[in-house]
Amino acid sequence: MTELVDSKAETQERDASGVRRGVPRWAITLASVGVLTLLWEWFGRDINPVFGSYPSAIAAAFWDLIQSGKLQAATLESLQPFAVGYALAILLGVPLGLVIGRYRVVQAALGIYVTAGYAMPLVALVPLLVLWLGLGFAVKAAVVFLMSVFPICINTWLGVAAVPKSLIEVGKSFVAPNTVILRRIILPATLPYIMAGIRLAVGRAVVAMVIAEFFTTISGLGAIIINSANNFDTATMFVPIVVLMIMAIGLNGLIGVIERKVAPWQAEIAGRDRE
């Protein structure tokens, strides 16, 4: 009986010392965002509204844009080339990274373009792309694709290079053909890297989308940014920027959920315990 009491006391003690760890992560994030918003509000109000803005003004502008339906329409318009370009980047970048990582010849032949392409100053090339693809949907999807395909491809390639030789030897020792080794050993072993590349590409794809909307037909969320900036309506200009950042965060979270679905063993192996 005394033993029982003792062990209970011990558990409580551990709980007490573990309070800091017990605070859920979302609460910490929320508190961080809250403090930053308050600070911004506090100092932002003192600045000339042409040179800066502050959360409550941005919220008011947000509400106006929602009520007029402009924000929804612009978001929808932006999302379409974004989705197409980003999806194409995944569909092409992953297989390309796999074969570059796996086959010496392909690496020697194509690796150099991928490395160079990652550093390509895409903004400078947009006028050329306009000449090729016009000013419409295609060129916007192409810009998003070109910005996001390289990080996905490079990460996949690095992932393949990091696959333990011993796992490939398992395939070899059971006489697995090369295609089976690629599909059933290298691809799943590389999945965490692929997902990391897909995540990295989100940010670049969002930037690419806005660049495309600035430099081709002015449209979508990019158009709201440009037009309100031209009218010195800084608060309204911030609305699409905030929307885009929130979208990127949401997409990142979604990819995280998908990752745990397609590669559950990874989270289990790595463990979620962190200081």
Residue 194 CB, shortest distance to another protein, in Å, is 13
Residue 78 CB, shortest distance to another protein, in Å, is 36
Residue 249 or residue 267: which is nearer to another protein going by CB?
267
Taking the C-alpha atoms of residue 188 and residue 141, their distance in angstroms, rounded to an integer, is 29
Residue 50 or residue 175: which is nearer to another protein going by CB?
175
Residue 215 CB, shortest distance to another protein, in Å, is 43
- Within 10 A of 230 (CB to CB), how many other CB atoms are there? 9
Residue 189 CB, shortest distance to another protein, in Å, is 8
How many chain residues bind another protein (CB under 8 A)? 20
Residue 202 CB, shortest distance to another protein, in Å, is 24
The sign of the CA dihedral 188, 151, 244, 212 is negative
Q: Which one of residues 51, 269, 273, 274 is an interface residue with another protein (CB under 8 A)? A: 269
263 binds another protein (CB under 8 A): yes
Taking the C-alpha atoms of residue 94 and residue 79, their distance in angstroms, rounded to an integer, is 22
Computed on alpha carbons and rounded to an integer, the radius of gyration of the chain in Å comes to 24
Residue 166 CB, shortest distance to another protein, in Å, is 5
Residue 270 CB, shortest distance to another protein, in Å, is 10
67 binds another protein (CB under 8 A): no
Q: Which one of residues 185, 207, 212, 237 is an interface residue with another protein (CB under 8 A)? A: 185
Site string for another protein, 144-183 (x = CB under 8 A): ----------------------xx-xxxxxxxx---x---
Residue 22 or residue 271: which is nearer to another protein going by CB?
271
* Amino acid at residue number 121: P
88 binds another protein (CB under 8 A): no
Site string for another protein, 207-246 (x = CB under 8 A): ----------------------------------------
- Segment lying near another protein (by CB under 8 A), choices 10-18, 42-50, 107-115, 188-196: 188-196
Burial (CB < 10 A; 0-12, 13-18, 19+), residue 24, is exposed
- Cα distances (Å, whole numbers) of residue 204 to 104, 106, 209: 29, 26, 9
Contact in structure between 94 and 151 (CB atoms under 8 Å): no
Binding-site ranges for another protein (CB under 8 A): 166-167, 169-176, 180, 184-185, 188-189, 191, 263, 265, 268-269
